[in-house]
Amino acid sequence: MDQDSHCTAERELLEAVSRITTSSTTSPSDKEENQPKAEISCQVRKENPEKDDTQDSSATLSSNSSMTTKELQEYWRNEKRQCKQTKLLFEIPSTRIVEHHLSKYVVYKIIILQTGSFDSNKSVIERRYSDFEKLHRNLLEEFSEEMEDITFPKKTLTGNFTEEIINERKLAFKDYLRLLYSMKYIRRSKKFIDFLTRPELQEAYGCLRGGQYTKALEILLEVIGLQERLTRGNPVAIVPTLCAIVVCHKDLENPASAFEYGEKALSCLRVHTSHRYYIPLLETMITLAYELGKDFLSLQDKLEEWKTKKDPVRVFTLKELAVREYVR
């Protein structure tokens, strides 16, 4: 969406909120008060085709939804924020050659930047040629039609470690990632997201299982920002990482930081109370709230409410769940 179209969409959203707010205030008993919401929601989606990237079920209105004026205003504020699609840029500024006893390979340094952001919003990862090759094979299995015009740099029998070949591949892989990200279904696919995050998450969880909480936390905090940008519109996807951060902070005796990330995780699960992390997270948050002198009764009420609706089942602790992630 260009700047003019974006401004137009923002103005129409604000006007819509004003109209609906006025209507809610003057005619609260009007049975048709929810109708404009659905119509405006459709209009926004038409003007913002990339809106498909933000499919959070909790942010979707139906014609039968009943919301207070305050809730409606908050809904439209979220809609307006989501009209600005997060876009990522990929740079490969450098490489390094790794030599082991029986192998030698090139590692490509990939910098992932959010458009319009500064260094604080960048992520840095490293991948080998074989990692790119595996990604390409996996994507071809699921997206063969979408990828029929995408070329992948082939291996050569000789010269793989020459400066010329390495520089060519740097440019080729940069274009390759850019093209993949430009395709909606691919950039939202688990295979693409795993390529960009899984190795680091595997390392982090390995450190967590080994009791290296400081190292695990350092890696997880690096990954979570990239995960959030890649999975925008699907907040549940980042819950395991947020909970692992809670576990690390808790074991490092940083209860305030653990509680902060726990609140983020609970926010992601507000309409997903059947999620496997929900109850262990609630139990941990009650303990942290009590320790910090915060209100834990509301959390306790949520836990009791869940127990009355569900059959008693064995629930792992938050730490037990975390150490089971990414076990090979």
Q: Residue 70: its pLDDT value, please?
A: 63
pTM over 0.85: no
Residues 312 and 315: their CA atoms lie apart, in Å, by 9
Question: Structural domains in the chain?
Answer: 84-188 (3.30.1520.10), 196-327 (1.25.40.10)
Q: What is the pLDDT of residues 240-281, one digit of tens each?
A: 999 999 999 999 999 999 999 999 999 999 999 999 999 999
Indicate the length of the chain as a whole number.
328
Q: Residue 60: its pLDDT value, please?
A: 44
CA 281 to chain centre: 19
Residue 78: pLDDT band (50, 70, 90) is low
Residue 69: pLDDT band (50, 70, 90) is confident
Mean per-residue pLDDT for 63-76?
59
Q: How many CA atoms lie within 13 A of 186 on its CB side?
A: 22
Q: Residue 77: its pLDDT value, please?
A: 59
SS3 122: coil
Are the CB atoms for 51 and 13 separated by under 8 Å? no
Contacts of 277 by beta carbon, 8 Å cutoff, 6+ apart: 239, 240, 243, 265, 269, 318, 321
Q: What is the pLDDT of residues 167-189, one digit of tens each?
A: 999 999 999 999 999 999 999 99
Rounded (5°) CA angle 221-227-230: 155
Q: What is the pLDDT of residues 218-238, one digit of tens each?
A: 999 999 999 999 998 899 999
